Structure 1
Amino acid sequence: MKDWIAKLTIYTVLLCNLLFGTNNAIAEVLSDYVRPFNDLPGFENVVIAEHTDKEQEHRKEDFRRFREILKDTDKLEGLFTLYHNRDSGEIYWEIQPEQLNKNYLCTVTLESGVGESGIYSGLPLQDFLFYFQRVNYHLHFVVRNVKFRAQPGEPEGRSLARSFSDSVLYALEIASIDPYTKSILIKLDDLLMQDFPGLTSLLKYFLQADYHLEAKKSYFGDVNSFPFNLEIDSIYNFSSPEGAYLVTLPDSRALTLKVHYSFSQLPENNGYIPRVADDRVGYFITAFQDFSHNHDREPFVRYIHRWHLEPSDSSAPLSPPKKPIVFWIENAVPFEYRDAIREGVLMWNKAFEKAGFQNAIEVRQMPDDADWQPADVRYNTIRWFNSLDAGFARGPARVNPLTGEILDADIIVDANMVRSIQQEYRALMGTNSLFMDESFSQEGKNLCQAFGEKYKVDRNVSIPVPDSEFCYGVESSNQAAMGALVLSLLQNTTPSSDEMKKYVHQYLRSLIAHEVGHTLGLRHNFHGSTMLAPQELNNTEITHTKGLVGSVMDYLPVNLAPVGVEQGDYFPAIIGPYDEWAIVYGYKPHPHLTTEAIAPETEKPFLEEIALASPQPELSYATDEDIWNINPLANVWDMSNDVLLYSKWQMDNARMMWQQLEKHYPLKGESYSDLRVLFNRVLKYYFRNASLLTQYIGGQYFWRHHADSDTRPSFVPVSLEQQRQVLTTLQENVFAEDAFSFSAQLLNQLAPSRWQHWGNYIPVSRLDYPIHERILHFQSGILRSLLNSDRLHRLRDIEFKSLPGEALSMPELFDTLQKGIWTEVFGSSQSKPISSIRRSLQREHLNILLEMVLRTSDVPEDSRTLAWYELRQLRKAIDTSLKQQNDDLDIYTLAHLEETSDRITKALNAELHSK
């Protein structure tokens, strides 16, 4: 009863003070009356201060100013209170005293883009922890430094603030302060009507033009404040005097971008326990240095990213979660794709059942009349957007940077990912693609660099190795279009057939499953495609029970059955064993612990027991940093545990498609440019599979295991027998004289597109098909990959670490390649004409050896001496052939051989200079 009397009294005092002010005499009486209640919990500091008359007038004036600002405004109450002036359009943001110096999460999303060149709707821009700090008459917007921490109350914590700085992004002028409640008002324009997300630099990077924010043309859209989050749309207008080369805009000198901001409260005391990471299981992580434990060998603490799932019945082996993970399918997704998307999301419930959760994930459809936006931090959405040139999907998640708890996730899918499949098998995006013909453009590389941590290109193979979801999406679309082409050429499937609809359904379902895996915290697993033997890939009794792959987190090609084998699933129908095991590691609750006062380290023995299963072959794990041309089973766009056999099958498929192209394309009434695009696609597919074989040369199988769980060495070299087999296969399918044979009729039908307009770029190049340049482009890539510096260094090291006769030596590699490429001078006592395709390849091989000898390439010194030796042997063989020449040799061949001999002589006699 005493508490209620105290509350009533204090509220009455404060109300009087607010409405009428207090003079010193009244203040003294009220303070004396309130002071006895100060000992009650929650009322310790309720004392009315004494003020002079002058101070009291200032307080009244401040309060009048505060009320004047809020006059004629609409009040939006929630996590933060906003005031919107209906006449002026000004919006004020109120920050309560208890909201100062408190952590909040800011997430920024690009809600509308321009549809090309990297500026696409739905892209996440930023997410970080921030707090408000009052400094005199300014309010600082500060980004919290979460990289260094110490336990509360420990001495180490006192030095952290002095040692590592937070980032003060803005010092905002305070519009007014309520003198009684101490609430602070700032103008929302001061914070968000400037380039808060850094769009100016983003536009400069992507569009190569200087765009500037036009404040007078910019404004706020929807603004909503909810109990746990504040949602704001800012519409920014940018201008550039010269504009940029953008075909999607009516006038590129001006463009509009809509940005969505979510300012949300971090979960506190919700029972979430951070879970420590293990390098054998692939999760994204939150890492920080903990200065509280200087005695530890490892200075970093690493927590995996995961959702907060709690069983509703902790005693049951299988229980629904208290709060499931809910994904909403955006109402912009076409009707025909919604079922595939739903299935792709729900595929993961099988894994969560292994972790003890029933129906952990739910899928709901966003209503057409929904009163919320997909970027709202309260909703996890699967979004659909259109672009001219993107062709990618992404699955980012927003995470509490203090604990690793996933708070929100939004998957975005470009319509181009599936559109190309249904356009009568034309190549992805046709002639307006970033990836013109088979080359990977600079624009594409820039986009990959922006969307991923790094973009790795094996320059020797000349085939991009993607390291981001953007690049994954582009090649994934290429793979999907390739499968559709197989349906057309080898199975006579029409675009509207049930088989084609089934194919598109399988592809989109697998694509969504991959992206959902990212939103659950999982990283890529490029070992995931190697679970089954090649002969098992099309056996649905196996693939529908065990899985087509060990993990859908790999970059998976379309599974094309070899000629004569009944086709199975094109893409995985279920997630793999690794996916289930990884979810168990991340989400299975500890059976004997409650959430009260548990340190994450307490779970380590429980988690170690799960991770001990990692040596099982189907649980093998290799992620982005593991695929640097070393492990032939940790690769992108490969399939099966025998990539050598798989690649040979796919090259055979490509040959069959070339034959069918000549018979069946172009379709009646169609342009011959379609035939050219399809021919390019098959040629690229052929060489991509050939390039997979180069991983075996100097290759080493690599495992992420711990000493207690596995006795295998971390690195095991590929057997000498396999490496020799690969060299033979490459000779027969890439370097041999008869490796490529196309009819003149087919080559003379490869006409380019003649439509020249926006969105349909025609490169300034030859109109006829440059067959020599195309083939040499790929042959050179593979040859230079086999002889690149990294591989040669690795071969030398492997030979040193192996027993005699167990490793492929550099002399054997050099000699095998030379004799295979120059069979016309090494393989027979009878000289014969050398074809134009072979002459181009031989010149490229000669150039590589000369670069080594003349020190214009960085290779081991042993490689230089071997190149010198091989050149001498080659000159000797050429000179011998020329002496034995007969009338069958043409002038091309004679000139080629004589010039080659002359170049070798001059190079060997030249003075060697270092770089």
Structure 2
Amino acid sequence: MKRVSLVLAFVFGLILVIVPLSVPQSVARWLPTHAVANQSSPAQQADSSPSPEDSPRKPSDDGDEEKGQKPFEQVIQDTATSNGLFTLYQNKKTGKLYAEIKPEQLNQNYLAVMTLESGIGERGIYSGLPIGDFLFTLRRVNNAIQFVVPNINFRADRGTPIRRSVDRSFSDSILQSLPIRSTHPQRKSVLVELNPLLLGDLPGLIPVVSFALSKPYTLDQATSYFDQVKAFPSNVEIESVYGLSGSSGNDTELPSYIAALPDSRAFSLKVRYSLSQLPQNNGYRPRLADDRVGYFITAYRDYTNDAPRQSFVRYINRWHLEKQDPTAPLSKPKQPITFWIENTVPLEYRDAVRDGVLMWNRAYEKIGFKDAIAVQQMPDNADWDPADVRYNTIRWFNSTDAIFALGPSRVNPLTGEILDADILVAADFTRALKEDYRSIAEQNQMRSAPFAAQLLGKENLCNYGMAARYLRRQTPSTEKKSSPRLRFGSHLGNDQDLCLGLDGAKQYAVGNMALSLFQNVLPNSSEMKDYVQQFVRELIAHEIGHTLGLRHNFHASAMLKPEELNNPEITRKRGLTASVMDYNPVNLAPQGTKQGDYFTHIIGPYDEWAIEYGYTPIAAKVPQAEQRTLDQIAKKAPQSDLSYATDEDIFSFLDPKVNVFDMSGDLLTYSQWQMDNARKMWERINTRYPGEGESFSEVRVAFNAVFDYYFQYATFLGDYVGGQFFNRYKSGDAKGRLPFEPVPLEQQRLALATLQKNVFSEEPFQFPPELLNKLAPSRWSHWGTQPSIELDYPIHDNILFLQSIVLYDLLAPQRLARLRDAELKTQPGQALTIPDLFDSLQTSIWGDVIQPTDNLKLSSLRRALQRQYMNLLVDMVLRQVDAPEDARTVARYELKQLHRSIDRAMRKVSDREIYTKAHLEEARDRIAKTLDAPLQSR
């Protein structure tokens, strides 16, 4: 649903790749020697002497530093040797692992990439997750090799005075000091033991695991060891198996219960460290970023020159793609971007996965690349591992509680060049409706809804949902909102991207159910198989977009008019949306209309434009020389199909066209269509569920799925109220257009009217008693299940929760402040005012009391909503919640008007109608006490 789920942000990025960096000469001018790979030959490197200015630390000249070391051959006795980037010596008897470091490999940059190769299958600890990548260098200090993460966020040209200040002002991070065990007498290479580093907690396992499992866990050295160790010319691959113990030393405290484990007291996690060398002198040129086009960026602060308006230099993240024939209009690349479909991907999805990857070649062809992206199938008997940094893979994983996809890439942090990427997909995406998940409203009754929202605030999370609005109401504005960083490798600065979680799966599930309920499509039919292929294809295309460097575009789904969405002649030519980088919902046609595509078949015009900006070959020697050509591309931003808004644009809930899982440029119309579809699905669930021999819990699962769907579209409408359309144009891009454009008054009024009809009215929720009495919960009780404690279905509470979230959002202090500001930002008479909003809500919610009929009778749903609205106004007047002062005074005015209306309505209530009479008497007395209460000072 619109921002509804945020799906457990256990984004962990742990991939260890060691890489000496290749840097263009245009970039190298400001880099310290400890931050750039030496471009000279190994012999030249060995003979060169860094200047005092560029040398971060000088090795000790102590001639006795090798004292106490054992002979080289003695140390490596009984070890298995692996020759490669670093020569590795593994002693399986003692468990020791040594690395031989050559003199020329010191003071070079490498990239560390770590991957969680095994998990426990729940609570965010899943196999295949990336858990960290970062730049590091090896420095010799006295008789030890320091493992250092250099500080490359602050830079200045070498040879300038400010450079000295920069080097002294910002510290590097020394993560480990490894004693030198031996020195080779001829090669002068040194031997260090890797156990303290790679069997220590470099990834940050302990804090993350302890937080995720809610109990302390410790590393058990007795059960930790190195598994596979492989060395190649440009990388080494090391697998560390960590034993973890739940013992805290307190015999009375039990470890956390983990359903997926046979015994929760202990388990093991395997981490793959990929230590790899970056390509040397490969001609890659960084490309400057533009905020009109959505790329992930690599940024640093440049202190060389005080003149620029911005001290930050920003490069987009992209692959190094070159034509074989630079003069040809269409040429194959020298090296295509190749993805491998892991052999764990189910056979029935492999064609859709392949199509989703290759969908992007359309964009590259338009800028002169033929077959820029290639796909290969990983053989069942492959002798390489998908976590190997040399392979870009699409991986499947299983868990008991995770539904998400992830598309991270590893980037040269000096230049923005993408080096490696792996896509991770939860196997449960296509099983969502088969599981007994509870609706967001029912979760709230169990006090678990905040868990879905607790990680709000991280910029690049992919699911935002209604939980965001819920959390905003629960957190006082005076408190600084923070979120636990439940991510491996967060201390290493990794910021990966969690994508398309539970809400994406629910979109699939509702569409699946719609095929069955509206078209009588059977599960094994060709129609259903085609539907599944459409979903998987778009899912993979979205994640591939991330691995190409692209960020989300949450404006893209507003490209087409509602009436165009089910016309294949339009959607197969332009796309269902402007970008696969949006969170696109299942497209369900309104009843009586022929169904078109459920999910897009092609990438959209925004995708093609973004690729044009990032990958168009430009003849230039330095990034700045590309600026004119890039600006001409970015200037297309005002074209409606190229509108762009990303993660940080969505949390303000300002622009009604910037949402997750919305569709069409007229959301007022499309939302009504989908809420009508939901009501029709409820009717058919009642007549067709459960099937013969099926459990009644199936009815509850289906009912909840549709409830969430209805909830999703209801929550979109509030953003029209006080809303503004926002664009990222630069001056001169679009004459007569400004960054903020108020939503027209008539659209704001229509949004309120639609909410009155579909949310604040009791009519949509008049479910047949027969349906409500079918909503039995699953009663299975064993590991892997969480049977509901409450047998009954809390229908009143769930409906009120939906209504309250919409009501709270409309009266949120941010929205009220916007309504107040809108009176200055629009022409007279063209703004919806705070009194307009309050009057509309009061008329909608208390209308039957304001204009009572004889024998007035208020239903339980009506009474609950009226009470909630009244409580909000009371809280405003008594300063229990934040609100602009004008809103407080209007709230007080509305309460006085309501008090008079209740007095009149009391005369229309029969003495036998106790519910209504008691409700009105209590409301009248509360309002009277509120109005008489002493005014609280600020």
Task: Name the TM-score, length of structure 1 as normaliser.
Answer: 0.90
Please tell me whether the aligned partners of residues 461 and 498 of structure 2 are also in contact (alpha carbons under 8 angstroms): no
Q: Please report how far the alpha carbon of residue 434 of structure 1 lies from its aligned counterpart in structure 2 after TM superposition.
A: 12
Determine the structure 2 residue equivalent to 1:475: 503
Deviations 1:713-748 (A, max 9, x none): 110111111111111111111112323211111111
Match 1:444 to one of 438, 449, 452: 452
Match of 1:814 in 2: 838
State how far apart, in whole Å, the 1-side matches of 2:134 and 2:67 are.
38
Q: Does 2:934 match 1:911?
A: yes
Are the counterparts in 2 of residues 831 and 881 from structure 1 also a CA contact under 8 Å?
A: no
Matches within 5 A, 1:22-37: none
Distance in 2 (alpha carbons) for counterparts of 1:429 and 1:468: 27
Q: How far apart, CA to CA, are the structure 2 residues paired with 1:728 and 1:69?
A: 80
- Aligned counterpart for 2:779 among listed residues 754, 769, 773: 754
**Residue 530 to residue 439, structure 1, CA distance change in 2 (3 Å):** farther
Q: Which residue of 2 aligns with 1:267?
A: 279
Q: Verify the 8 A CA contact 2:90 2:96 in the aligned structure 1.
A: yes
Shift of 1:760: 1.0
Q: In 1, Cα distance between the equivalents of 2:539 and 2:472?
A: 20
Deviates most, 869-878 or 428-437? 428-437
Correspondence for 2:590:
562
TM-fit CA distance, 1:146 = 1.2
Instruction: Give 1:113's aligned residue.
Output: 119
Tell me how far apart the structure 2 counterparts of residues 190 and 299 of structure 1 sit (CA, whole Å): 39
Aligned match for 1:836, one of 844, 848, 860: 860
2:763 to 701, 718, 738: 738
Give the AA of the match of 1:619. Answer: L
Mark the CA change 1:245 to 1:817 in structure 2 (over 3 Å): closer, same or farther: same
Q: Which residue of 2 aligns with 1:98?
A: 104
Distance 1:749 1:529, change over 3 A: same
Give secondary structure in 2 for the equivalent of 1:880: helix
Call closer, same or farther: CA 1:251–1:44 in 2, change over 3 Å.
closer
Change beyond 3 A, Cα 1:430–1:884: closer
Aligned equivalents of 1:219 and 1:67: distance in 2? 23
Q: Distance in 2 between matches of 1:894 and 1:140?
A: 78
More moved, 149-158 vs 434-443: 434-443
Distance in 2, Cα, partners of 1:43 & 1:99: 9
Q: CA deviation at 1:355?
A: 2.0
Residues in 2 aligned to 1:393 and 1:531: alpha-carbon distance in whole angstroms: 25
Aligned residue for 2:645? Answer: 622
Q: Which has the higher helix share?
A: 1
Counterpart of 2:207? 201
Q: Which stretch shifts more, 186-195 or 82-91?
A: 82-91
Which residue is equivalent to 1:520? 548
- Describe how 1:59-74 pairs up with structure 2 within 5 A: 65-74=71-80
Instruction: Give the deviation of 1:455 after TM superposition.
Output: 7.7
Measure, in 2, the Cα distance between the counterparts of 1:461 and 1:450. Answer: 15
1:6: which partner in 2? none
Of 133-142 and 265-274, more deviation after overlay is shown by 265-274
Give the Cα separation in 2 of the matches to 1:136 and 1:769: 70
2:161 maps to 1:155: yes
- Per-residue CA shift, 1:219-269, capped at 9, x if unaligned? 111111111111100011100123212100011110110000011112332
Residue in structure 1 matching 2:513, options 473, 481, 485 = 485
- Distance apart, 1:912 and its partner CA: 2.5
1:723 aligns to what? Answer: 748
Conserved 8 A contact 2:322-2:334: yes
SS of the residue corresponding to residue 132 of structure 1 reads: strand
User: Within 5 A, what are the aligned runs for 1:357-372?
Assistant: 357-372=369-384
- The equivalent of 2:817 in structure 1 is 793
Which residue matches 1:348? 360
Query: 1:132, 1:229 → 2: CA distance?
Result: 15
1:248-292 CA distance string (max 9 Å, x none): 001111011000001111233210000000000000000101112
Q: Which moved more, 1:509-518 or 1:189-198?
A: 189-198
Could you say which residue in structure 1 is the equivalent of 2:392?
Answer: 380
Q: What is the number of equivalent residue pairs in this alignment?
A: 855
1:586 counterpart = 2:614: yes
- The structural deviation recorded for 1:886 is 4.8
Question: Does structure 2 retain, via aligned residues, the 8 Å contact 1:432–1:759?
Answer: no
The secondary structure found in structure 2 opposite 1:217 is strand
Structure 1: 5+ residue stretches without partners: 1-40, 47-54
Aligned residue identity for 1:243: P
CA distance in 2, matches of 1:701, 1:128: 38
Contact 1:510-1:573 within 8 A present in 2 as well: yes
Q: Which entry has the higher C-alpha Rg, 1 or 2?
A: 1
Relative distance call for 1:773 and 1:59 in structure 2 (3 A) is closer
Q: TM-score, with normalisation over the residues of structure 2?
A: 0.88
1:552-701 equivalences in 2 (<5 Å): 552-590=580-618, 592-593=619-620, 598-627=621-650, 628-701=652-725
- Decide whether the 8 Å contact of 1:330 with 1:384 is kept in 2: yes
Check 1:444–1:429 CA distance in 2 against 1; reply closer, same or farther (3 A cut): same
C-alpha RMSD over aligned residues: 2.5
1: CA distance, partners of 2:78 / 2:455: 47
Deviation of the 1:353 alpha carbon: 0.9
Verify: 1:288 aligned to 2:300, yes or no. Answer: yes
Tell me the residue number matched to 1:547: 575
Q: Do 1:577 and 1:619's aligned partners in 2 also have CA atoms closer than 8 Å?
A: yes
Paired-residue identity, %: 54
Pairing partner for 2:904 from 876, 880, 887: 880
Query: Does the aligned pair in 2 maintain the 1:237–1:255 contact within 8 Å?
Result: yes
What is the aligned partner in structure 2 of residue 498 from structure 1? 526
Are positions 1:773 and 2:781 aligned together? no
| 1:825 matched residue in structure 2 | 849
The answer on 1:127 being equivalent to 2:133 is yes
Give distance in 2, aligned partners of 1:432 and 1:255.
32
Match of 2:235 in 1: 229
* Cα displacement (A) at 1:439: 7.9
Summarize the alignment of residues 859-898 of structure 1 with structure 2, pairs less than 5 Å apart: 859-886=883-910, 890-898=913-921
C-alpha contact (below 8 Å) 2:156/2:162 kept by paired residues: yes
What is the CA deviation profile of residues 538-557 of structure 1, one whole-angstrom value per residue up to 9, with x for unaligned ones?
10011111110000100111
* Letter in structure 2 aligned against 1:554: D
Whole-angstrom CA distance in 2 between matches of 1:481 and 1:436: 21
Aligned-pair distance for 1:60?
Answer: 11
* Alignment partners' CA distance in 2, 1:587 and 1:575: 16
Maintained 8 Å contact 1:839/1:896:
yes
Alpha-carbon contact 1:344-1:511 (below 8 Å) kept: yes
Mapped to 2, the partners of 1:481 and 1:488 lie a distance apart of 11
- The one-letter amino acid of 1:614's match is A
Establish whether residue 322 from structure 1 lines up as the match of residue 337 from structure 2.
no
How far apart, CA to CA, are the structure 2 residues paired with 1:444 and 1:468? 19
Q: Relative contact order (alpha carbons < 8 A, sep ≥ 6): 1 or 2 greater?
A: 2
Deviations 1:307-342 (A, max 9, x none): 000011111111110000000000111111100100
When residues 647 and 427 of structure 1 are mapped into structure 2, their CA distance, relative to the original with a 3 A threshold, is farther
- Deviation per CA, 1:90-123: give whole Å up to 9, x if none: 2210000100010000001101100000101111
Q: Is the counterpart of residue 338 in structure 1 residue 363 in structure 2?
A: no
Gaps of 5+ in 2: 1-42, 49-60, 248-253, 474-482, 484-494
SS in 1 for 2:573: coil
Whole-angstrom CA distance in 2 between matches of 1:415 and 1:349: 26
Task: Find the residue that maps to 2:876 and give its secondary structure.
Answer: helix
1:344 positional shift:
0.4
Question: Does residue 851 of the first structure (1) align with residue 857 of the second (2)?
Answer: no
Distance in 2 between residues matched to 1:499 and 1:440, nearest whole Å: 37
Q: Per the alignment, do residues 42 and 615 of structure 1 end up closer, same or farther by CA in structure 2, a change over 3 Å counting?
A: closer
Aligned to 2:339, the other structure's residue is in SS state: strand
Cα distance, 1:426 vs structure 2:
3.3
Change (3 A) 1:883 1:373: same
Equivalent position SS for 1:106: strand
- Tell me if structure 1 keeps the 8 A contact 2:81–2:90: yes
Give per-residue Cα distances to partners, 1:365-416, cap 9 Å, x unaligned: 0011111110100000000000000010000000000000000000000001
Structure 1 residues 45 and 368: CA distance shift in structure 2, 3 A: closer
**Structure 1 counterpart SS, 2:421:** strand
